[in-house]
Chains A and B, each alone.
Chain A
Amino acid sequence: MRFSPAQRRYSRRVLILAIVYAALLLSAVYLFARHLVTGPFAYLLGVLPALPVVGFFVAVGAYLVEEQDEYLRLIFARQSLIATGVAMTAATVWGFLEGFDLVPHAVAWAWPVTWFAGMGIGACVNRMVERTAA
C-alpha cells in the first residue's frame, strides 16, 4: 500500500509527538513522584504532557486540510467521526453512572485516550468497508 504525501507527513508528526509525549510524561511523573516541583512550575510541568496530546488533534486537522486525495480525506473524516462518537458516548454514559455513584471517578484525560481507541475502531470499520467492496 502506497501512502500519500499527507499520510506520510501525518505519520511522521504522530511519531514525533508520541516520542515527545513519552519524554514529557516520564519526566513529569519522575519529578512529581519525588516532590521536586512546587508552585507555578508545578502547573507548567503538569500541563506539559498535555501539549503533545493537543498536538495529535492538530495533526488530525492538518491531515484533513493537507490531504489532496478526496476519497482518503473522506475515509479519514469517517474514522475521526467514529472516534468522536465512541469517546462522547463513553464519556456521557460514564458521566451518568459516576453521577449516580455506580462507577469510580474517571480522570478527564481518559476521554482523549478513548478517542484514540475510537480511531482504531474507525480504522477497522474503514478496512471492513474496503474489503467487502473490493
Chain B
Amino acid sequence: MLYGSVRDAFLFLTYTCRMPTLDAPSLAFSQDGHHTVTATGAWHVQALMPAQTMADIKLALKSAGTTDAQHWDLSQIDSMDYIGAQLLWNAWGRQRPAQLTLAPQHEDFFRRFEETGMLDMRKAPQKHWYSLDVMLQRKIALADHILGFIALIGQLVIDLGRFLRLPQRGPWKEISANIFHTGYQALGITALVGFLIGIVLSYLSAQQLHQFGGDIFLVNILGMAVIRELGPLLAAILVAGRSGSAITAQLGVMRVTEELDAMLVMGLPHGFRLILPKVIALAISMPLLVVWTDAMALIGGMVAANVELGLTYKYFLRELPDAVPLANYWIGLGKGVVFGGLIALVACHFGLRIKPNTESLGAGTTISVVTAITVVILADAVFAIIFTGVGF
C-alpha cells in the first residue's frame, strides 16, 4: 500500500483542493435474486457531518447488517476516508464480507483494517472509593501533605536564620516587590469591602439597639467586632483569594515551564528566594492591610450610625478609645502577621506540588485558596481561645 516514492504516488492519486460539494453517502438495497447493497456518494467525514445524514446511514447500516444477503457493492462510491471506511467495517462486524466489490483506490483502507486487526486498550483499573487501597492512598496523601507542610515550615525557619545572620545578602528586592503586589495593590478592594461591611454591621446593630434604647453602645459593638475580629478576618480572606491564588499559580507555572528546576541548577534555593520573601512580605503587608480595613470599616459604620441613629462623628471618635481597650488593637495586628504568614505558606505549599499539566494547575489553585481560608479561620479560633480574658 505504500508507494515506492513520493513521485510515483502523484501518478495515480487524486487530491482535493477546493471546498467540494459532497454527495451525501447512502445505501441502496436491491432484492432481485441475490441481495445486493450498493453504497453511493461520498463516504467522507465532511459529508457525514450533518446529524440527519449520520442518523440515516446508521439506520441503513443496521438494516443491512440484519439481512443475510450480503453482496456489497462499493464501486460507485465517489470518495472515501478512514472514518467512512471504518463505519462500513464496523457494520460488517470488523471483517470483510464474503462478496465485496470495491474500487481499486479504496482497497487500501480495508487492507489496512485487516492488517491492523482488532486494537484493544487495556481497561483502566476501576477502584471503589471504599476499597482499602483507595482509603490507604488517601491517608498517605494526607500524611504527605502534613509532613510536607511541616518540612516547609522547618525550611522557612532555617532560611529565616540565614537571613538574620546575613541580612545584607537577603532577598530584599523580592520582599519589596511582594509587599507592593500583596499589600499596595490590595488597598482598593479591602477598602471597598471593609467600608460596605462596616455599613451593613452598623445598620443591623443600630436597629436592634434602638429597640432597647441602647444607641450609644453601637460604638462598643462596632469597635470591638471590627478591630478584634472582622478587620483581620476580612483582610485575610481577601488576601487569601487574591494573593494566595496568585502565588500558587505563579509557582505552578514555574514548575510547568521548568523555571523551578532552572533556579535549583543555578544555585538559587526555592526556600530562600521564593518562599521566604513571600512569607515575610505577607507578614508585613497583612497587618498594614488590617489597620486599613479596620479604618475603612469603622468609617463605614460611623457614616451609617450618623444616618440611622444620628450619632455625630465627633461623639463616635471620642467614644471609640474608651469602648475598645488598646489590647484588642494589638491582637488584631498580631492576627494580621500570623494570617499573612499562613496564607503565604499554604499557597507556596500547594504551588510547589503542582504537576506539569493544566488540570493540576487549576485544582492546585482552588485547593490552595480553600485551604488558606480554612487555616485562617482555624487560627482565628485559636486566637479567640488563647486571648479569652484579654482586652475586655
Q: Do A and B come from one complex?
A: no
Q: Which residues does B use to contact A, with CB under 8 Å?
A: none
Q: Which residues does A use to contact B, with CB under 8 Å?
A: none
